[in-house]
Amino acid sequence: MTRSMPITAPEAATDPPTPRVPDESRSRRRSRRVTAHPVAGALFVLPFFLVVVAFLIVPLGYAFWLSLSSKSLALGTRFSGVDNYVRAFTDPVLLDGLLRVVLFGLVQIPIMLGIALAGALTLDAVTTKFALAFRLIAFMPYAVPAVVGALMWGFLYSRTFGPFADLPTLVGGDPIDFFSSSLLLLSLGNIVTWAWTGYNMIILYSALQGVPREMYEAAVIDGATPVQIALRVKVPAIKQAISLAAIFTVIGTMQFFTEPAIMARFAPQISAGYTPNLYAYNQAFAYSDFHYSAALSFALGFLVFVVAYAFVFVNRRRGARS
């Protein structure tokens, strides 16, 4: 008896795949398309670049040239180097205005940011229809032009027909002089706080909306109260937004100009050098010393940059330690 061997089908002979040669015309089109992208991108950026050069770089360059020269009746316009900057950093009027602005910021900035943070935390905790109306009402002062707001508060502060000055007389007190030397900075701070608190509150509230809700749920499970959740969960979670709002507020404080310029017609105590920006403005348009005014402006810009950078550096060091 013989065994039959299993019959297997013969293996199919397969040829190795031949490499495809790319079409020469197709590769040329691709190379043209790739090389055309930078040109198209440059054409899109060109209008913005021209606007920046025409309205930012050229005026800044001209102002910087003015700051390095001086003008007199005898010698005319001449190159003076850094003389205007030496004069600026030793000018007692400018230094007095800087000190006044620093004191103003030390009081006004924490109060405004504190109110904005409290309002943002309240809005984040309240989910009724009143929250939307409150957001609109709080943001409305920011929509009012600064000049209009300053004029409005000037009339409200007036001792002649303002509603606030005569309030102490209802209880036998003396009328309040909001434009006195002791209350003038507080009056200006009230205007700035009224105008910018809603803006900062919306920034912080938007940051709170991006915090994951799981963090709140975990805190509730751990037995945290609403106040503890607000202080120990929400505030640390929006630390970057608080720092951003603080930086913008510091820069705006160093550029304090509109409110004292408008209130000068109500308060004679506001002199030409009451704030650094007001001093630079008056040097240019009241005394026609454009060269010294340009030096003052660049000196103030440098100080603002140093203060903002120092603030960011300190916040980063604190964040790295924590």
d(CA 252, CA 244) in angstroms, rounded, equals: 12
Residue 234 has a CB neighbour count (10 Å cut-off) of 22
Q: What is the pLDDT of residue 101?
A: 94
Q: What is the pLDDT of residue 1?
A: 45
DSSP 287: S
Residues 6+ apart with CB under 8 A from 151: 262
Distance of CA 209 to the CA centre of its chain: 20
Q: What is the pLDDT of residue 163?
A: 85
The pTM score is 0.80
Q: What is the pLDDT of residue 223?
A: 87
DSSP state string for 66-78: HHTEEEETTTEEE
Query: Dihedral through CA 237, CA 242, CA 243, CA 248, nearest 10?
Result: 150
Using alpha carbons, select from 258, 318, 200, 105 the residue that is nearest to residue 310.
Answer: 318
Those residues of the chain that have pLDDT short of 50 are 1-13, 21, 34
Using alpha carbons, select from 61, 80, 62, 60 the residue that is nearest to residue 70.
Answer: 80
Q: What is the pLDDT of residue 164?
A: 83
Q: What is the pLDDT of residue 234?
A: 92
d(CA 136, CA 117) in angstroms, rounded, equals: 16
pLDDT digits (tens, 9 = 90+) for 31-70: 555 455 678 888 888 999 999 999 999 999 999 999 999 8
d(CA 289, CA 71) in angstroms, rounded, equals: 8
Using alpha carbons, select from 176, 172, 237, 228 the residue that is nearest to residue 207.
Answer: 237
pLDDT digits (tens, 9 = 90+) for 209-226: 988 888 888 888 888 888
Q: What is the pLDDT of residue 16?
A: 55
| Topology annotation, domain 85-321 | MetI-like fold (1.10.3720)
Both structure tokens of 129: 């229809």
DSSP 274: S
Q: What is the pLDDT of residue 55?
A: 93
> Which amino acid, residue 295?
A
Q: What is the pLDDT of residue 37?
A: 67
Q: What is the pLDDT of residue 7?
A: 47
Domain range summary for the chain, segments of one domain joined by +: 37-79, 85-321
